[in-house]
Structure 1
């Protein structure tokens, strides 16, 4: 049972006043007017108020001692975390020359009578490049995939048609955007000369529909994609505005592009966009292809990451008195993580010499000549190294002391953070300073990741964990907890010899690990952000959740840097004589095919919405980060039962019956390696379920 918090005195203002009134007849019997209007009662209220303040301070002493004890065992309150969001800058008009958006550009929410503006700063610079059109091609994307001779990703198309840019826009010249008889996989490839990653691009089309063969502009049968290379290959672009109404009329199409990489198609190098017909072409697509007469490409803006932070530069802290252990306080707090290269202290001596002091976590390794300082992120307090009296009578200095009379100035720091920075989409709309040729700014996605500073109660909860570990790895739980603390590790599983079920067999290439005596085997799942997901046609337009596709296989690879960081962390804490085997989990890629039935008479848009919800449920559930019954990631070694997928799909709104659900083992990039699972899919202790491409059909 935990010890109760000591309350030295629980009296408050009202209690003190009641006690004083009871004592009046004893000490002053002639005082008979006890009404609030009496001057004596006013004096009592003043003293009761002052006593209440003293008792409040007295009761803070246990908290102060508790904080001191926490610092002695290495527990510090975590500072606030800043929210981040992609911010898009829009130009007032297309420019003929590149335009730079400087790093540290500040944007904010609208200030109201009740709420202050929330300020964000861009984390890196952005360069808006005017695009140059180099080629147009029409081909079918279902041709065989190949790699070009330089190792760049590419595709070969035997039926590709190259269009003459020199004649584009001339009277009477036009060509079909897709094949004359459009079919799924047909695509218009656009070759750009330069890298336009994260750009906002406007494509102005002059089109003519042959025979009036238009489609529903609200449900176009195509998707816009940008080449990213590697395994992720084509990534979906966000359509911000479609003035062509799905190529029904001439107009402007505005795209927000993802990260791009150079690739080779049709023996041509460049950066590629494509408009590809999806399977919807078979149901309500083009009867004949629209013809393209003109095409203009302009850059309208760029998207850069920003976070909830305000930048302060060249803040004067004061003058040094020449003694060790000096402390100064910044004007703003809480302070965000310092960059050792930019966020430094400038110490200007009386002779005009400038010395730079760099931030360190503590002074334990600081030599007397090292110019170091520490910063308390929560309070904004800057401290220089102290001097400690040694056993032999000498004094050792931890870090250099600024000379007496020197001026101390903080060159740069950022403050902010907290849950208040988790603003919704389109809330950041104010430019704090004018940027040439920039008309407006906004965030199309909500800001996320903001967190308030850690409370004392939360820090107390960590004490049993720290005292249990004692900074040593002995049990399997110790190894998992310590490995998960390394930045970049999402989850860890320690595989022991007694975890494998005797006689258990697994389908496909799944095998249980054999752990020899004296060896600790850790399966490390690297952290993956939503930006590392592959956009798929089936879920790319789903507005319900940020998860919009399967995880890129190469993002799940355990890098040598991450493996080395975990090895270095655990080498300091493992017992002598044990060896470490650090490896990636065994990923079991599964593809689900399901047929669902919606309500009788459900329209096509309703069935499409049900299908997207079902796809979202599958990608979210069969996921090492967000999957599993508890939504915290598919558990290591947990068996997948097909019956639970029936229940998952049946719970999707709009689904009446889930039928014909099949689970197939796959290998990314090897379509011939497929094995259908019946009943359940057992997994060894080091294995995780990962979603490959799922297929869902909704009937009525």
Structure 2
């Protein structure tokens, strides 16, 4: 998608447009020549707007890099040259090669360092890896003794485990601050944006908590890391130099088996192209969908997993209530309602936090007046955007479809089921109008102790960040690995519950009539049983053969279709489906985090001749 052109405001066009508005905005201003001081000021403003629009369309590289850091990415650092070498010894004694041993190309004056310690036997050959990097020890600055300090090294690095020292003490690297105490020295390293961070102070219900120790005031922050060095595309003669030895080791022959050349750092243009194609790696889990994605990416042993937020109950606040009639409009302790052409009460709730799956919604009002118990109060959807102190009969909000109705009893609470209404209009203002089919009814307003209440039960959706999530993982032996992995990607303050799926036992009984065949009925029975088990299997079942979908119910119609598709089945005369309680039904819902375990009985018969 092409980037929009933000530099479309030109100086003269701005001046001309402003002059056209002057007669409407200030008619006494009739002098529009360039000599007029007001026109001079107008032109100065137009020139500044022209300059700002140009700068907005051409952001400097520093601004773009700051925006990229907000997206948790930066241009990729250079990839160092890597060599796979075969080293042959003609010595009569073993040779110990420590990690970091120098491998040097004397013709190009280029250096590589071995990546692991090795023991080279006499008159033998071994393989080893070497990488072309240099060690950088950089002072990143001094501590301000504030929580959540962040520092970035000057040179780009591919090093996944840089070493950090505070004054003379080395602090350990951790993947997350989630389980760190306030006196635990630790830091994190984000390779995506090349940044180290110290523990934050996180708000909790009682008081804020510090995760990880804060470096003392004025302490030197020193980072030791590896940075790639440019190398020639084709290394030639290589020599091995042991530690503290300025001459190459004799009787050692080095042969290059594989060479991965040096790759320069990613340009800013290449980075912008990469993120425009959605190639940013996911680093933190916020929504349930994030948890599923990270589990599938990082733990291939998990065959199936479902992530769900818990059920929670919210009480959106009542933000306005009033009643109107042709004679008056009032915001009092009573919300009076009659027929829609005599008296209407209005109630509004703030539903902006309702971002998940609504499972139940109830409206509660206290009836403080009713001139008869047989009258019905009618609740309907109304337009929002009204104020309880400004509402009038002539400009009253329009009433739309009916939401519910109830027969109120005086001096008691009434309950109205508004689930469908909240499901459809949740996420913004929820405005209701109250009328009566006959007589008059009154409810307590929010100015009293009997405040109108709306309670909504919901399950966190994909845009809702839950405080606790529930994860069902298969096979069961992957649960410990899933817990350990998700500890490091969850947000601080989010709890995780990981467990195997629960077995949801159902009973299936089917009677089938077979086609005439020389095979026994027992073979057809086994074929029918295997077909039903395969269709509801947790990894190979379902219509797409990728596993029975989570939360999808089992239906009698599914079983009829499976059996009727078998080649030896002439007809299916009866199918009985029972839920775990033993109740016969035509549909068994599957709870969250559960999988069907069917107990199947097949009765087969052949038609008489």
Specify the structure having the higher radius of gyration (Cα): 2
TM-score normalised per structure 2: 0.36
TM-score normalised per structure 1: 0.32
